[in-house]
Structure 1
Amino acid sequence: MSVSPSIHVSVMPEETLEWLDARAGHTMLDGTLGGGGHTRLLAERVGAAGRIVSVDQDPVAIERARQELASLPVTLVQANFCELEHIAAEAGVEKFDGALLDLGLTSDQLADRERGFSYEADGELDLR
């Protein structure tokens, strides 16, 4: 499956990196992958000796990240972050040095008329 690049802009990137204190060699969790911006920043910060486990239940977000972040130390998991204990065990992680949950929707989800997240375009709304 080929997906278009993300239009989502991660908020407060420098503040996020500073607050999480991500350093070379750290293992970090991005529990809400979304457009992949924070995952990319964290992966660049932890370097090849580190690792990012990035989670999203949206298969489109996972596929986009698979294409855009392939060269970085990122493990992608399609799941909900509430399954963290299982996710960590499956990824072989005993502890994370830091975790990020940027809760909400991404611009990508809102812009896609087929997803049903916005009433600004004609189409069915997802009212689950």
Structure 2
Amino acid sequence: MDLKLGNINHGELEVKNNDLVLMNDANMEIIQMIALMLQIKAGELEFDTNYGLDWAYWETGNKDLVEENIRNKILYYFKEVNKINSITSEFVTKEKRKLKVFISLDINNQTYEKSLEV
């Protein structure tokens, strides 16, 4: 199969019914901003020391505290999020420095899911 992509800088590619479709959805930008926030440690940015995840919770190894921190940050910084359906996580390494996160949330009454490693 040949696939040629032009200059695509808006939207997200998704496979639906064995077809490649460009999802040009304004809410996808919010999902991408949430994913970016989860990559940042609190205190790394000069202009806002609270943006990003508080890694002190990670050091405890308590997944419930980490998931609560993620939930609180999303609801505080992203007013477009109507409801968080679920957040699940698991530590990838023994040192608890990598985390797999799965988030299901409603933005403007549409459900979105994102899985990422932070």
TM-score (norm 2): 0.27
Q: Which structure is higher in helix share?
A: 1
Q: Which has the higher strand share?
A: 2
Larger radius of gyration between Structure 1 and Structure 2: 2
TM-score (normalised: structure 1): 0.25
Relative contact order: is structure 1 or structure 2 higher (C-alpha 8 Å, sep ≥ 6)?
Answer: 1
